[in-house]
Every structure is written in structure tokens, then in C-alpha cells.
Amino acid sequence: MFLIFIKKFSLVLFGLILALIVLEITIRVLLSFLPENLLPTYGIYQKSYPVVGHKLVPNLDGVWSREGFSRVKTNSMGWNDYERNLVKPLNTIRIAIVGDSFIEALQVDKSKAVGQITEFWLEENCNNSETLNSNFEVLSFGVSGWGTSQMYLAILDEVLLFDPDYILLAFFPGNDLKNNIYEVELNPHKPYFEINDQGELFLSREPLLDNSIKKFFYRFVRDRSILVQVIREPIVKIFASNKNVVAETISKSNVKDDYQKKIELIEGSSWGKNLDSKFVQYSWSLTEKLLLKTSQDIKSHNSEMLIMIVSRGEIVDFERDYVFELWAKDQKIKNIFYTEERIENFGLKNDIPVISISRKMSAFNWGKKFGTTKFHGFGDQLGHGHWNENGHNFVGKVVGEEICCILYEE
């Protein structure tokens, strides 16, 4: 009886394995023939590391189609960039751009992302004189969900190894304040800083690493199976959708817990709201201390830091009258450039150049007689989300111009 059971079980198991193999082969064949607009996102995932926390896995080869489209290949260090040598080539000015998902730029091909556009602009426009005759390299270090804390640690741990002459830190007003605070981020796989009683920064939380046998087995199978990678994507969307539903339910309830209140406080603070809140004051103080510490440590390595304030589509992609007369009034926002003004003043005080992309984009669009250029979003979501090719192209040229001006001033 037992032998009969074993025989039947073996046949079922063999059939299941055979079916999975056939399905795996079928999916691989289908993906090689499907047009780009029908390809799902697959083969792109993160892992938590001891110093910086989560970032992309090295040597990925996949497709991103959640927003925009690109075929993604990470380099051997886990960045969505071309393979780079640690040793800087002779007669080369090297620039590193460090930031979150705007710099990671999964939404467009890396050849059309801000790093490559900046490099191309500098090569074409900034090395054609006797006073400055150098080559340029622009390296990209971007990870979705990063805040200033992770950018700072990544600069110390990896970016400075490449001996950059300039490091451009991209600050996104939409969530970088939140990303730095554990109480609202609640992500144990990230590092966090706090301010002690003496007003000094200290690392309060190190990233939690998930190196369990179960996780190891899952990663082993995932890295080798297109089937698992394709199935993973809708599951991720379901979890994200559930989180949004929960957040919306909480926000509509009459009783809001402390967590939700902090979320609302910190989201409003980037527009100049809630500035009398001690939590908001602490959040801004923490961020500015991190920026200052980053600049000081970069200078100690004979490099120079610039801050780029990333644009927000709700400001720059629409006509001026709509932004001021309708949108800002509806949102009860008195100063749509509060973050820009604050960080610009911070930069002046601490001798850190600041590039405000929203000011540049809005000046470009609001100077038109008719219509606007959409720098953000894709398809039916134009004006919202990440930079599209228009956005990356515009920002790359702006950054190139700013760096070129600095070089000639020196």
C-alpha cells in the first residue's frame, strides 16, 4: 500500500515538475516575441545591504513597464548604470549623481536618463576651449525609496571610491523628508539617523538583513526562473494596492492615529505647512544636518557637493494660472516653492550650490504662449509621476550648464 502511494506521489510530482518546465519555456519564448507595450515587469528586485540598506541587485537583466518602459541591466555593483571602473581615466572630470527613483530612472532607457544626457551635453558644450579641455564621465547612483540618510551613507561607502570631482545630491521634496524618519517610514531594511541631545547626528538604526534559509531559497529560485519573476509582479501590485486602501480608509476615518497625523504633517511641510509642529521642525533639522554633514565629508575627500531639488509635476507641467488660481488654492498652499526657497537659503549659508529644477521647468513652461511641455508621466498619466524623456533631457542640460559654469568660474 505504501509503495503504491509512493509511486502515485512520484508520478504526480514528476507531472508537476514537467508542467512547470514547459510553462517556464513557454513564458521565455513568449517574452522574446511580445511587443514592448505588452511586456510585463520582471527581473528587477532589491536586496538589503549592511550599510546602505535596500538597493538593486547586481547584474540584473529584466524589463520595467509599471511606468514608462525600459530594458534594465544593472552593473556589477547594483546600479542602473553602465559598468564603471573605480580608477578615474586621465584628463577626466567625473560627476556622480546620487538620488532616489528619479535618478534610478527605470522608466526610460539609461541612454536617455539624466546622467547620460548630462555627460553628452558636457562633452558637446563644455570642453572646447583652451582653458578647459577635459573629458567627462557622469555616474548614476539612484535607488527607489531612498532618503538623504541612505544617500549620505552610499556616498561614503561606494560613491567616493570612484573619486568624483563633483557629487550632485538629488533631493525630492515629495518624500525625502519622510524617507529619513523611521516613525513614518517603518521600513526596518533601511538605516536611520537621529539627533542627540547635543544636537549631533548619530546612526540610530542599521538595516535589517533578511538572510534566512527561506529567503535564500526563494532568491535562488527567483533569480533562475522567469516564471517566478513574472508571477511576482502582480503579487507586488496587490500588496501595494492593499496598502493604499488601508491608508485611504485611515485618512477618511474620524479618529486618526499618531502615525497618520505624522504622515500628514510631514507631507504638508514640504509646501511650507505645519511649520509650528515640533515634529516638522525636527524633520527639517534632521534633513539639513544630513545635507551639511554630507557636504563636509565630501569636501574632506577633495570633492564638491551640489544639491539638485527635483521637480514636482503638479507645479511645472501645467499652466501658471491653473497652478496658482486653482490647484494651489484647492490644496491651501501659499508658497509652491517653499522647499526650493528653504534649501536655496541653506545652500547660500553653507556655500553649497543648489539647482532648483522646478524653477527652471516652470519658467520654461510659463513663458510659453500656448500649452506646456509635459516633463513628468507617461501615457494617460502625463503631468504626474517620474520624469519622462522630456524631463530627463531638460534636467540633463540644466545640470550640464550649471556644472560648466562652476568649472569656468574656477
186 pLDDT above the threshold of 50: yes
Cα–Cα distance between 179 and 45 in angstroms, integer?
19
Residue 69 lies in a domain: yes
Residue 233 lies in a domain: no
Mean pLDDT of 151-168: 98
The two beta strands, 46-49 and 53-56, are antiparallel
Residue 163 lies in a domain: yes
Per-residue confidence at 228, pLDDT binned at 50, 70, 90?
Answer: confident
C-beta atoms surrounding 82 within 10 Å: 14
- 5 with 109, same domain: the answer is no
Element (H, E) at 308: strand 304-309
Cα–Cα distance between 266 and 157 in angstroms, integer?
29
Beta strand residue intervals within 68-165, DSSP E: 70-73, 92-99, 135-142
Q: What is the pLDDT of residue 245?
A: 41
Average pLDDT along the chain: 90
- 6 with 44, same domain: the answer is no
Can you list the pairs that 72-76 forms with residues at least 24 positions away whose Cβ atoms lie under 8 Å?
72/43, 72/44, 72/106
Q: What is the pLDDT of residue 219?
A: 79
Query: CATH code at 263?
Result: 3.40.50.1110
Q: Cβ distance 352 to 359 under 8 Å?
A: no
- 19 with 77, same domain: the answer is no
- 377 with 316, same domain: the answer is yes
Q: What percent of the chain has pLDDT over 70?
A: 91
CA proximity to 133, closest of 193, 91, 89: 91
- 10 with 78, same domain: the answer is no
What pLDDT digit, counting tens, does each position of 30-64 carry? 778 888 888 888 889 899 999 999 999 999 999 99
Per-residue confidence at 410, pLDDT binned at 50, 70, 90?
Answer: low
Q: What is the pLDDT of residue 224?
A: 80
Q: Cβ distance 133 to 127 under 8 Å?
A: yes
- 49 with 67, same domain: the answer is yes
Determine the structural domain holding residue 184 and report its residue range.
39-217+252-409
Residue 223 lies in a domain: no
Q: Which of 5-19, 319-333, 351-365, 382-396 has the lowest mean pLDDT?
A: 5-19
Residue 227 lies in a domain: no
Cα–Cα distance between 148 and 286 in angstroms, integer?
9
The two beta strands, 166-171 and 92-99, are parallel
The two beta strands, 304-309 and 166-171, are parallel
What pLDDT digit, counting tens, does each position of 67-124 carry? 999 999 999 999 999 999 999 999 999 999 999 999 999 999 999 999 999 999 999 9
Per-residue confidence at 249, pLDDT binned at 50, 70, 90?
Answer: very low
Per-residue confidence at 254, pLDDT binned at 50, 70, 90?
Answer: very low
191 pLDDT above the threshold of 80: yes
Residue 222 lies in a domain: no
Mean pLDDT of 229-248: 58
Per-residue confidence at 129, pLDDT binned at 50, 70, 90?
Answer: low
- 24 with 61, same domain: the answer is no
- 28 with 81, same domain: the answer is no
Q: What is the pLDDT of residue 15?
A: 77
CA proximity to 115, closest of 410, 406, 403: 403
- 210 with 352, same domain: the answer is yes
Which DSSP string do the residues of 326-377 spell out, in sequence order?
Answer: IIHHHTT-S-TTHHHHHHHHHHHHHT--EEEHHHHHHHHHHT-SS-----B-
Element (H, E) at 228: helix 226-252
Residue 236 lies in a domain: no
- 29 with 168, same domain: the answer is no
Q: What is the pLDDT of residue 247?
A: 45
Residue 242 lies in a domain: no
Q: Which three cell numbers stand for residue 91?
A: 584628463
Cα–Cα distance between 140 and 119 in angstroms, integer?
11
Number of domains the chain contains: 2
Cα–Cα distance between 44 and 381 in angstroms, integer?
23
Mean pLDDT of 2-20: 72
157 pLDDT above the threshold of 90: yes
Which DSSP string do the residues of 55-93 spell out, in sequence order?
Answer: EEPTT-EEEE-SSS-EEEE--TTS-SS----SSPPTTEE
- 43 with 14, same domain: the answer is no
- 22 with 99, same domain: the answer is no
Q: What is the pLDDT of residue 352?
A: 98
